[in-house]
Amino acid sequence: MNQESSSGLECPKPGWFQAPSGNERTWIGMAVIWCLILSVMMPYWHFRGKQNSTGEAYRVKPADFVKRVEAFVKVNTGEESLVEDGIAPVVPAPPGEVYLLAKQFFWFPVLKLRSGETYRLHISSADVQHGFSLLPMNMNFQIVPGYDHVLTIKPQAPGTYHIVCNEFCGIGHQQMVGKIIVE
């Protein structure tokens, strides 16, 4: 290193290719170790953590998905009047197959789930892309038309939760708020 160096604006002197030394070398070592920790955390959480996005999804035509949601609502309510409220009652667990439709600009139906039970929640869109944002948990997933996105979820506490669309879906986007009731 005991040679003249040049500023970043000038051509470097010959022999510039040198191994780092001193603090710079130490820092690069620390940075490499940190990056390894970052890299290992994700596979670790995949196997040991409880919150993962595995991207489980199935191709589905938007029109077919709408039919599945309607069938699901019909089976789980029986009463036409209840369907109009958009409330599907408790789904038997485990692992109950639950359907949720995103459409400009609403979520259908309002779901009632039981705390501590595991559900396979199928979400897809009838038209454009939407964002599934469950509040106040702040859990967020992308909803893409043509893909039946399956989330295997386990509600943890009773209460009323809101679903806000957080992918821009057109000029009524901000009205798109749905509900999940956990008992």
Using CB under 8 A, which residues numbered 19 to 48 contact another protein?
19-24, 26-28, 30-32, 34-36, 38-39, 41-43, 45-46
Query: Which helix (H) or strand (E) segment is 16 a member of?
Result: none
Among 82, 110, 173, 181, binds another protein (CB under 8 A): 173
What residues have CB less than 8 Å from 49, skipping those under 6 apart? Answer: none
- Which three-class secondary structure state does DSSP give residue 31? helix
Among 87, 136, 158, 183, binds another protein (CB under 8 A): 136
Among 83, 87, 90, 139, binds another protein (CB under 8 A): 139
Which of positions 50-109 make contact with another protein (CB under 8 A)? Answer: 50-57
CB-CB neighbours of 24 under 10 Å: 10
Among 103, 108, 109, 167, binds another protein (CB under 8 A): 167
Q: Is 181 in the site for another protein (CB under 8 A)?
A: no
Q: Is the CB of 77 or the CB of 113 nearer to another protein?
A: 113
What residues have CB less than 8 Å from 179, skipping those under 6 apart? Answer: 107, 110, 111, 160, 161, 162, 163
- Distance from C-alpha of 120 to C-alpha of 99, rounded to nearest angstrom: 8
Q: Is 148 in the site for another protein (CB under 8 A)?
A: yes
Q: Is the CB of 90 or the CB of 105 nearer to another protein?
A: 105
Burial state string for 60-69 with b = 16 or more CB within 10 A and e = fewer than 16: bebeebbebb
Nearest to 20 by CA among 32, 11, 9: 32
Q: Is the CB of 25 or the CB of 79 nearer to another protein?
A: 25
Q: Is the CB of 74 or the CB of 162 nearer to another protein?
A: 162
Q: Is the CB of 68 or the CB of 154 nearer to another protein?
A: 154
- Distance from C-alpha of 127 to C-alpha of 119, rounded to nearest angstrom: 25
Which of positions 115-134 make contact with another protein (CB under 8 A)? Answer: 127-129, 131, 133-134
For the CB of residue 19, give the shortest distance to another protein in the complex, in Å: 7
